[in-house]
Amino acid sequence: MTFDKDKKNVFSAIQPSGTITLGNYLGAIKNWIPLQEKYNCIFSLADLHTITVRQDPKEFHKNILQTYALFLSCGVDPKKSIFFIQSHVHTHAELAWILNCYTQFGELSRMTQFKDKSSRYSENINVGLFCYPTLMASDILLYKTHLIPVGIDQKQHVELARNVAGRFNGIYGEVFTMPEPLIPKVGAKIMSLQDPKKKMSKSDSNRNAYISVLDSEEDILKKLRKVVTDSNSEIKYSGSMTGVDNLINIYCCITGKNVNEAEDEFRDKGYKYLKESVAAVVANELKPIQSKFDDYIKDLGYMEKCYKEAARQANDISKEMISRVFSKVGFVPK
Ligand code: TRP
């Protein structure tokens, strides 16, 4: 892929921790695909971020390769985008260190995700978890990123990246490009099937709370059947994060219909019909992805070629920025 100076740059990443959920797919990956036609896209598997929570090495290794295969299956095209593995490009950790020195302890202490995760993993509140947002800022700022497609839960981290970039530029002149989050209207947040007030998450201990993109048609139906719906007979979108709202959101996200159209379609049909219809569109959406996944995961040689070439390109681009930063800070060139 060649960088076109007339196009804006897009950067996004996702953590290769375990399976990819329907929430990741609809809230993130699916929105990335059309961006490839319009922008210079750089996508990454944020494996350095993932070790802020303890991983089993074998399982982690497998997850990274699986996630890479899944992204290819979802339509990330290595000919159109740079799709690399974060730990393969050393500039990320380097810039992260520098940004740490321009970020205040208080700022990071206020991050909602840090507060959430430190209560969830209270036995391992490591410094990496605390500095997670500066590593993310480094990912973004290395590539003169204009746009960052992310879910709404990452907005605060993007805001931090902007603050740090602004502070650095304030001291040293225009070094970093000011990035903007690109948050999709529908589907930005697919909620847990078991607790629709919480985001759908692969780290949920209840397997029924999320759909994995690799789930069978049967499992999808089973999980959707368990969604708690209320006792109203009319199916309506309430806007207050109910199980029904979540089902309608999923349906709209996949079919491209709006909420009113979905309500008209389901109003008098009953919850069983709603759940089965959602299950059918979900299974239908995931089927081609699953079949491509089976092919990619068998062809590790091909994947290796893709991620090595991508790392080479990402390295070429980002080393310009890191040299610039080194020189601004006053380091002696090597
Ligand atoms: N923190 C993001 C998430 O969990 C993943 C991520 C890492 C990211 N680096 C990024 C997203 C840079 C956007 C840009 O979803």
How is 98-163 classified by DSSP, letter by letter?
HHHTTS-HHHHHT-HHHHHHHHHTTT---HHHHHHHHHHHHHHHTTT-SEEE--GGGHHHHHHHHH
* Local structure of 10: helix, strand or coil: strand
pLDDT of 254 strictly over 60 = yes
Residue-wise pLDDT tens digits, 35-86: 999 999 999 999 999 999 999 999 999 999 999 999 999 999 999 999 999 9
Helix (H/G/I), strand (E/B), else coil: 331: coil
The percent of residues above 90 in pLDDT, for the chain, comes to 85
Q: How confident is the model at residue 188 (pLDDT cuts 50, 70, 90)?
A: low
Name the token pair of 199.
């985001």
Which tokens in the block code for residue 243? 């199980």
**pLDDT above 60 for 135:** yes
What whole-number distance in Å separates Cα of residue 138 and Cα of residue 315?
Answer: 13
Which residues on neighbouring strands pair with residue 21, listed in sequence order?
212
Ligand 1, CB cutoff 6 Å, lining residues? 11-15, 46, 49, 136, 139-140, 148, 150, 154
**Mean pLDDT on 216-231:** 92
pLDDT reported for residue 3:
77
Would you call 264 exposed, middle or buried from its count of C-beta atoms within 10 A (0-12, 13-18, 19+)? Answer: exposed
CA-CA distance, 152 to 173, in Å (whole number)?
30
**CA 160 to centroid of ligand 1, rounded, Å:** 12
Q: What are phi and psi of 37, to 5 degrees?
A: -80, -25
Q: How confident is the model at residue 216 (pLDDT cuts 50, 70, 90)?
A: very high
Residue nearest to atom 13 of ligand 1 (CA): 12
Q: Does residue 80 have an active-site annotation?
A: no
Contact 261, 33 (CB under 8 A): no
Q: What is the mean pLDDT of residues 126-151?
A: 97
Taking 80 as the threshold, does the pLDDT of residue 231 lie above it? no
Q: Hey, which of 11, 138, 154 would you mutate to test ligand 1's pocket, going by the most ligand atoms within 8 Å of its Cβ?
A: 154
pLDDT at res. 186: 55
Q: Whose CA is nearest to atom 8 of ligand 1?
A: 13
